[in-house]
Structure 1
Amino acid sequence: MLRQLNINRLLLAIVLTSLSLVIGMTGFMVIEHYHPVDAFYMTVTTIATVGFGEIHPFSQAGRLFVSFYILYNLVVVAYLVSVMSSFIFDGELRKIYNMIRTDQEIKRFSGHVIVCGFGRNGRRAYQELRANGARVVVIESDQELMKSITSGSTGEDYDGDGLPGGGIYTVFGDATTDLVLKQAGVERASALITSLPKDADNVFVALSARALNPRLKIIARASLKTSESKLLSAGADSVVMPDEIGGSHMAKLVVRPEVIRFLDLISGLSADKLRLEEMSFEQLRRDLHGRSIRELDVRSITGATIIGMRTAAGSLMVSPPVDYVPAPGDVLLVLGSEEQIETFEVRFRQL
């Protein structure tokens, strides 16, 4: 990672400077038999090239040592100045501070969602997750891409998750490696979306993430149909093929346009968007347990409609019978406007 490379450059500059001090003091003490304090003084004045003069005249061996020592320090000082200039004037220190702060914040995350790759699909997933209140960590290898997005130069709006300068919680690096996934908190995450451009990379991410967190929900992007089975075998729970979905969507706009427009309302692609929300039996207010769908009377109270239900057995029920009584493990699917769903949440969700 670039951050690690910059830190390594700074550490190397510090090591070379420390080594220069050790070499200088050792040389003056061994060759010229200086006291340690005098050796330190001569070392510093030689490195700084201030020219205060010798404590006592050098021997021929001492002059030879000082000559090579000065040449060595010309290189060390030039490297140290270039590194420090980069850190001070190019804002590297601030960047490293912000990255360390971000890493510390991510270490406290639990139940968050990780998005691998911040291309078109990754950005759309991020926006949808943030709109629904999820905490998101992005893994991206291209720092310039993230810089352009957070600065607003792409024309896209991001709330920044509260980071300094309107940034996004980001781990820079290769998402296929265990180290980067761990930095993103994969062991504590609830879900991971991998939307890298190459199917093979998405397979590696799914494989690594599943090994690090067996309970993790993994959604993977695929370009080729043949990659679907590989991703599922690698540990992905679901595979999405954007190209295939896009082609099907365009065809249905021809043959069933009103159906697609209705789906656009639900997906938020239309200006007058609807919201499809789910609520499990366990999230339902306790005093409403044991009531049938008719007795719940969701439509009259909120204006929203129960359009489906996933039963505890795993089957999906469309327009469940009004006499059906939700049971533990069931999940209600409710459709309505933002205001109707908010009313539903207030009136029916267990606080």
Structure 2
Amino acid sequence: MLTGLSLIFGMAGFMGIEHYHPIDAFYMTVTTIATVGFGEIHPFSLAGRLFVSFYILYNLVVVAYLVSVMSSFIFDGELRKIYKMIRTDHEIKRFSGHVIVCGFGRNGRRAYQELRANGVRVVVIEMNQELMKRHSEGQTGEDYDGDGVAGGSIFTVFGDATADIVLQQAGVERASSLITTLPKDADNVFVALSARALNPRLRIIARASLKTSESKLLSAGADSVVMPDEIGGSHMANLVVRPEVIRFLDLISGLSADKLRLEEMTFEQLRRDLRGRSIRELDVRSVTGATIIGLRQAAGSLLVSPPVDYVPAPGDVLLLLGSEEQIETFEVRFRQL
């Protein structure tokens, strides 16, 4: 823009003061800006010399500014940031079945960490670039199964999550789930509404601060609504009245040092040669040490401690509890490769 303004200003000066033809004025302007010094088409008047003198000084300032901007891009890493953003955008376009986390506050950050710990590919939408920079600098060697940016970078779309174009940049049409943890309930309602319109099959989990916002979020398209403040208060009260139950739940949630793991496996993920066997015949506990604590039937009902003679059917989901080692053994022995 500065170069264009300089070109117009120079041509206007040469045409107005020296009465040059537009082509001659263009020629003199370009040679002056470029400082090649090919000479004058005809001798300048006194006014023309003053104009050219100040015009040269002006262009020196413009050149100095452009050099400083380019230096900033090169030495302050701006070019690297732009390249990284382009590369991230290109990578996100290849994603499918990923999870989008809107907002990277306390709840969003915790959700992101838990998802990554379970090997889920995540795209974060956040407006605060400085917040993401601080968190990325604290990561060490995290990668996305060979597809991510090296050095612990987080796939991030910077912008307002309530805007359709930002959700589309995060690949909402191809995502499997979306978690919205924005500070304002109204924004979470808007995100749920927009995301549901862009992807009717998307699973949406929304954060709410007020109980009155729960029905609005569900109406907007959220599948589940979580109220952290209410959960926290209930958790503290239960530590008083039933502390051992809460300690056990802490083992499952990973809040305790001796972490237990909850896992699920669909009937379709079960090894083909094991299908058609009852829970007694599968004998999961003896083989792996893990325990089948529940079973979600295809019709939607939940069986807690399902009968040992029950035979899992298509559409059923087994719910298991065990240590990391026990669950890993279960994955190896029972999951279809």
Q: TM-score, normalised by structure 1?
A: 0.86
Q: Counterparts of 1:23-34 in structure 2 under 5 Å?
A: 24=10, 31-33=19-21
Matches of 1:207 and 1:78, distance apart in 2: 50
CA apart distance, 1:289:
1.2
Q: 2:115 aligns with which of 129, 132, 137?
A: 129
Match of 1:290 in 2: 276
SS at match of 1:220: strand
1:344 aligns with: 330
For 2:106 and 2:273, the matched residues in 1 are separated by 44
Report sequence identity in percent.
86
1:150, distance to aligned residue in structure 2 (A)? 1.1
Q: Does 1:240 align with 2:226?
A: yes
Please give the alpha-carbon distance, in whole angstroms, between the structure 1 residues aligned to 2:143 and 2:270.
32
Between 44-53 and 331-340, the greater mean CA deviation after superposition = 44-53
Give, in angstroms, the shift of residue 169 of structure 1. 0.4
Displacement of 1:288: 1.1
Q: Deviations over 1:140-189 (max 9, x none)?
A: 1001111111112xxx7682544244311001111110111111011110
* Superposition deviation, residue 222 in structure 1: 0.4
Match in the other structure for 1:9: none
Contact 1:293 1:324 in 2 (8 A): yes
Deviation string for 1:232-288 (max 9, x for gaps)? 011100000000001111111111111111111111111111111000011111111
Q: For the structure 1 residues 157 and 253, does the alpha-carbon distance in structure 2 shift closer, same or farther, using more than 3 Å as the test?
A: farther
Q: Report the counterpart of residue 186 of structure 1 in structure 2.
A: 172
How far apart are 1:35 and its partner, in Å? Answer: 6.4
Q: How does 1:175-324 map to 2 (within 5 A)?
A: 175-324=161-310
SS state at 1:327 partner: coil
Distance in 1 separating the partners of 2:253 and 2:12: 72
User: Could you say which residue in structure 2 is the equivalent of 1:159?
Assistant: 142
> Is contact 2:141-2:151 (8 Å) kept?
no
3-state SS, counterpart of residue 171 of structure 1: strand
Matching residue of 2:311: 325
TM-score, length-scaled by structure 2 = 0.90
Letter in 2 for 1:247: G
Q: Look up the SS of the partner of 1:277 in the other structure.
A: strand
User: Residue in 1 aligned with 2:124?
Assistant: 138
What residue in structure 2 maps to residue 11 of structure 1? none
8 Å CA contact 2:140–2:151 kept in 1: the answer is no
Distance in structure 1 (CA, Å) of the matches to 2:324 and 2:153: 28
DSSP-derived class of the 2:96 partner: coil
**What's the C-alpha RMSD, in Å, of the aligned pairs?**
2.6
CA distance in 2, matches of 1:272, 1:110: 34
Work out the CA distance in 2 between the residues paired with 1:24 and 1:109. 51
1:169 corresponding residue in structure 2 = 155
- What amino acid is the match of 2:142? D
Pick closer, same or farther for the CA change 1:27–1:313 going to 2, 3 Å. same
Q: Determine the structure 2 residue equivalent to 1:8.
A: none
- Which deviations, in whole Å up to 9, do the C-alpha atoms of 1:106-148 show, x marking residues without a partner? 0000000000000110111001000111000000100111111
Q: Is the 8 A contact 2:140 2:152 kept in 1?
A: no
1:61 and 1:80, CA in 2 relative to 1: closer, same or farther beyond 3 A? same
Structure 1 residues not aligned, in runs of 5+: 1-14
Contact kept? 2:262, 2:320, Cα under 8 Å? yes
**Alpha-carbon distance between aligned partners in 2 of 1:187 and 1:114, rounded to the nearest angstrom:** 11
